[in-house]
Amino acid sequence: MTKRRVRLPGIRAARSHTVSADELASLLAQSALPRHVVLVLVQRLDRSVTRAVRYARSLHPDVTRGLHVVVDPVDATRVVREWQETGLSHLVLEVRDAPDRRIDRAVLTAAFEELDGRTHVSIVVPRRLWRPRWWALLAHDRSAAWLVRAVTHLHVRHLTVTVVPVAIDDVDRPADASVESPEAAPA
C-alpha cells in the first residue's frame, strides 16, 4: 500500500506539514478523554470575559472555572468582588498568586494540577482587540501570545489553549456598568 500524504491547509504540525491518511484516521478514531476541565483566564471583568465564559460553556466541559493570577492584590480584590456581584458567582473563581509576576507559569501550574492522564484541560484566553489608535498599542497586552507559545513549546498532550477575540469599542465601560450576563446567551 502506498503511503499518500494529505495536505491540511491552515494546520501546522510540529515535525512536518503533511499527515498521512492513515495517521489522520488513527487520530480521529481515538476516543475522547473521560474528563474535560476548562480554565477561563480573568484579568478584569468586561465583555471579553463573558464571551470567553460563553465559549467555555459551549464546550460542555465537566468543570469550568475562572482563573485570576494575582499580580496586584488590590486589583485581585476588585476582580473577586465584581465576580460575585455580576452573576458569575455560579462559577468558581480560582485566585492564584504569582510572586515572580510570571502569569504563564501560574496558569500552566494550574493546568498541570488537573492533568492526570484521564483529563483534557482547555485554557480559554479572552483577547481584547482595540480599535487601531496610537494609545491602543500602549494598552495592548501579549499574555495570550506568551501562553500559546509556552504551551506549544512544551508539547503537552491533552492541553489546549484557545484565544477568544473580542472587539472592544470606545463605548465599552468598566465591568460594573456593562457586563453581559452569560446566563442571557444560549450555551
pLDDT tens for 59-79 read 999 999 999 999 889 999 999
Nine cell digits for residue 107: 496558569
Element (H, E) at 13: none
In this structure, are residues 71 and 101 in contact, taking their beta carbons and an 8 Å threshold?
Answer: yes
What pLDDT is recorded for position 177? Answer: 42
Domains and CATH numbers, the chain: 33-178 (3.40.50)
For position 154, what pLDDT does the model report?
A: 77
Band of the pLDDT at 129, cuts 50, 70, 90?
A: confident
Which is it for strands 119-130 and 159-168: parallel, antiparallel or unpaired? parallel
- Local confidence band at 173 (pLDDT 50, 70, 90 cut-offs): very low
Strands, E, within the chain: which ranges?
Answer: 5-7, 18-20, 35-41, 63-70, 92-97, 119-130, 159-168
For the chain, how big is the Rg over CA atoms in Å? 19
User: Residues near 123 by Cβ (< 8 Å), separated by ≥ 6?
Assistant: 38, 39, 41, 107, 111, 147, 151, 159, 160, 161, 162
Confidence check: pLDDT of 185 > 50: no
| CA 50 from centre of chain | 12
Of 22-26, 83-87, 138-142, the least confident: 138-142
How confident is the model over 22-37, as pLDDT tens digits? Answer: 877 776 777 677 899 9
Confidence band, pLDDT 50/70/90 cuts, at residue 102: confident
> What kind and span of H or E run contains 144?
helix 143-154
Q: What is the pLDDT, as a whole number, of residue 184? A: 44
* Separation CA 26–CA 21 (nearest Å): 9
Instruction: Please report which confidence band the pLDDT of residue 121 belongs to, taking 50, 70 and 90 as the band edges.
Output: very high
Please give the single-letter amino acid code of residue 125: V
* 3-state SS assignment for residue 118: coil
Rounded CA-CA distance 115/35 in Å is 10
Rounded to whole angstroms, how far apart are CA atoms 85 and 91? Answer: 12
Mean pLDDT comparison of 19-28, 85-94, 109-118, 159-168, highest-scoring range: 109-118
pLDDT at 181 exceeding the cut of 70: no
CB 119 within 8 A of CB 157: no
Strands (E), 30-118: 35-41, 63-70, 92-97
Q: pLDDT at residue 104 above 90?
A: no
